[in-house]
Amino acid sequence: MTPTKKLTALICLLAPLTFAHAAGATLTDTLLDVAMKKADPDNDGTLDLAEAKKLGISESIFTKANPDKDGTLDKKELAAAVTLMFEAANPDKDGTLDWNEAQKAGIKSKAVFDAANPDKDGTLDIAEYLAALTAQLK
């Protein structure tokens, strides 16, 4: 399967989850579980710094989202990290990221951005943003 087909397949799996939360989007357990599973190759249920960086989480965000200082992010801490990244990239505080904001928040390609934007409104809410970050993982 080509990388483009893999990306499309992943987005198709995640799209219904983001549609369900388009108004007042939140990071659901399901979205977090999908991201955690894909970003956690050792399947220990947490993300160490190296795994988190592959998802696009910087060391400073990792540290802020890890209040127990155990060196890993559990699902709740992953939600906090994604929220911190999203908020930092959303200076107008409108609850969405346009393409320019999304790039600053780690979305690497317009194709990923567009695929994670099933409502085609030109912006990503936080659920769509997490879907895009997850889709970028190899």
pLDDT digits (tens, 9 = 90+) for 86-109: 999 999 999 999 999 999 999 999
DSSP state, residue 24:
T
pLDDT digits (tens, 9 = 90+) for 52-76: 999 999 999 999 999 999 999 999 9
pLDDT digits (tens, 9 = 90+) for 114-136: 999 999 999 999 999 999 999 99
Interacting residues of 47 by C-beta distance below 8 A, sequence separation 6+: 36, 39, 40, 55, 57, 72, 73, 78
Distance of CA 102 to the CA centre of its chain: 11
pLDDT digits (tens, 9 = 90+) for 18-43: 433 334 578 999 999 999 999 999 99
Host H or E run for residue 19: helix 3-19
DSSP state, residue 108:
-
Domain extents in the chain: 3-136
DSSP state, residue 41:
T
pLDDT at 15 over 90: no
Interacting residues of 95 by C-beta distance below 8 A, sequence separation 6+: 25, 125, 126
CA distances to 36, 37, 98, 108 from 75, in Å: 7, 10, 26, 23
Would you say how long the chain is, in residues?
A: 138
Residue-level pLDDT at 20: 36
> Using 50, 70 and 90 to split pLDDT, how confident is the model at 17?
very low
Residue-level pLDDT at 79: 97
- Using alpha carbons only, what angle is made at residue 116 by residues 88 and 67, rounded to the nearest 5 degrees? 35
